[in-house]
Homo-oligomer: A and B are copies of this chain.
Amino acid sequence: MKPHNFSAGPSILPEMVFKQAAAAIENFADTGLSILEVSHRGPQFVEVMHRAQTCVKELLGLTDDFDVMFLTGGASTQFFMTAMNLLGSDQIGYYINTGTWSKKAIKEARAFGNIVELASSEEANFNYIPKPNPIPGNGQFLHITSNNTIFGTQYHKWPETKMPIICDASSDIFSRPMPIDKFGCIYAGAQKNMGPAGTTLVILRKDMLGKTDRAIPTMLDYQTHIDKDSAFNTPPVFPIYVSLLVMEWIKEQGGLGMMQEKNEMKAKILYDAIDASSLFEGTAEQEDRSLMNVTFVCKDPDLTSRFLDVCTEEKISGLKGHRSVGGFRASIYNAMPQTSIQHLVDVMKEFERKS
């Protein structure tokens, strides 16, 4: 039996996608060739790129005001590319600090403009989402991290601001609908809800560009990739192809509304079990709990490693929490079946009964 994969990322993807991906390595789109050896300028891959961009637009309901890019370098590269491309040296970018990734975004952006940390939950080890109100309107954008993989928090109410929001959605992209008119830019490393490691989705509202005349290396300039349909140079063919397969799976499942419904149901099973337990407790404030990464600990820390051992025996993989929080983190992305969550809950209950 296959292990239950609760890894935070790279992470579980739909089983069907693995089968389709393996098949394309042997014979891609009836070319007789492997997807690993075909030209990125060939009609079959050009079609993949086009379908992938269209899928992003359909899933999120993007208007033609947005461009869709598939780049590389992860969200870590977007931390500076956003500011480098979208912020003049004397302009203000507001940031809300909700954890490790927000902090890195802030650090990298400082080289390019006037970066203001508007709010932070660092004093409480990032166990909640700060909700500054009112938010000043004199910046070029407000940058947020929609889901905090490490600390298990997530925005359930988007900030009220007239500034365009730049959102690092690496760990909850495509897990729910987004009110797209609030966003100027959404970026996401693929390797959680979208696909395997190796590509980064960047969605950019056209009017975000043109605020700075900074000299930018060709490969770091969004305009390059917009103009060349993400194929200025050789794109990461296979990671983009697998991302397309995942997006098509999401569409078949009913789209982002259905994803949200399922994700809420799946998370509730686990949070209810944690709240009903006398042995485990959640680490994030209730109202900001993530539907993607459920962080919890043993009230008695001495039990932590024993529970992890039991998990290993029960074929539960990737549950160890990040060192910043400790305990456990169950990453339950779109592709995580409810049965695996139920299995984890059963193992938790049995562990509690025996302890």
Q: Is the CB of B197 within 8 A of A77?
A: no
Q: Which of B11, B75, B79, B198 contacts A239 (CB 8 A)?
A: B198
What is the bound-complex CA distance between A217 and B219, given in angstroms? Answer: 14
List of B residues within 8 angstroms of A25 by Cβ: 18, 21-22, 25
A321 at the B interface (CB under 8 A): no
Q: Is the CB of A72 within 8 A of B198?
A: yes
Q: Name A residues whose Cβ lies closer than 8 Å to a Cβ of B.
A: 1-3, 5, 7-13, 17-19, 21-23, 25-26, 31-34, 36-40, 42, 72-77, 79-80, 84, 104, 107-108, 111, 189, 191, 195-199, 215, 217-220, 232-239, 242, 315, 317-318
Most buried by B among A2, A80, A236: A236
10 intermolecular pairs with C-beta atoms under 8 Å apart? A5-B33, A10-B237, A22-B26, A32-B315, A76-B219, A80-B218, A111-B217, A196-B237, A196-B238, A197-B236
Q: Is the CB of A33 within 8 A of B235?
A: no
A246, closest chain B residue (CB): B36
Q: Is the CB of B237 within 8 A of A198?
A: yes
A11, closest chain B residue (CB): B37
List of B residues within 8 angstroms of A217 by Cβ: 79-80, 84, 108, 111
A198, closest chain B residue (CB): B236
List of B residues within 8 angstroms of A31 by Cβ: 3, 317
Q: Which of B5, B197, B242 contacts A40 (CB 8 A)?
A: B197
What is the bound-complex CA distance between A1 and B237, given in angstroms? Answer: 24
Q: Is the CB of A242 within 8 A of B196?
A: no
Q: Is the CB of A10 within 8 A of B39?
A: yes
What is the bound-complex CA distance between A40 and B189, given in angstroms? Answer: 14
List of B residues within 8 angstroms of A189 by Cβ: 233-234
A224, closest chain B residue (CB): B76
What is the bound-complex CA distance between A104 and B315, given in angstroms? Answer: 51
Copies of this protein in the assembly total 2
* Known interface pairs A33-B2, A196-B237, A197-B237; A218-B12 also in contact (CB < 8 Å): no
Q: Is the CB of A10 within 8 A of B37?
A: yes
Q: Is the CB of A7 within 8 A of B234?
A: no
Q: Is the CB of B72 within 8 A of A9?
A: no
Q: Is the CB of A36 within 8 A of B5?
A: no
What is the bound-complex CA distance between A189 and B234, given in angstroms? Answer: 9
- Chain B nearest CB from A110 CB (Å) reads 10
What is the bound-complex CA distance between A66 and B192, given in angstroms? Answer: 33
- Chain B nearest CB from A246 CB (Å) reads 10
A23, closest chain B residue (CB): B22
What is the bound-complex CA distance between A108 and B36, given in angstroms? Answer: 29
What is the bound-complex CA distance between A111 and B9, given in angstroms? Answer: 36
Q: A5-B37, A36-B242 are in contact. List 8 more A-B contacts (CB 8 A).
A: A72-B73, A77-B219, A79-B217, A79-B218, A108-B217, A189-B234, A197-B235, A236-B239
Q: Is the CB of B234 within 8 A of A191?
A: yes
List of B residues within 8 angstroms of A74 by Cβ: 72, 219, 233-234
What is the bound-complex CA distance between A217 and B37, given in angstroms? Answer: 33
Q: Which of B37, B108, B235, B237 contacts A12 (CB 8 A)?
A: B37
Q: Which of B22, B107, B108, B234 contacts A10 (CB 8 A)?
A: B234
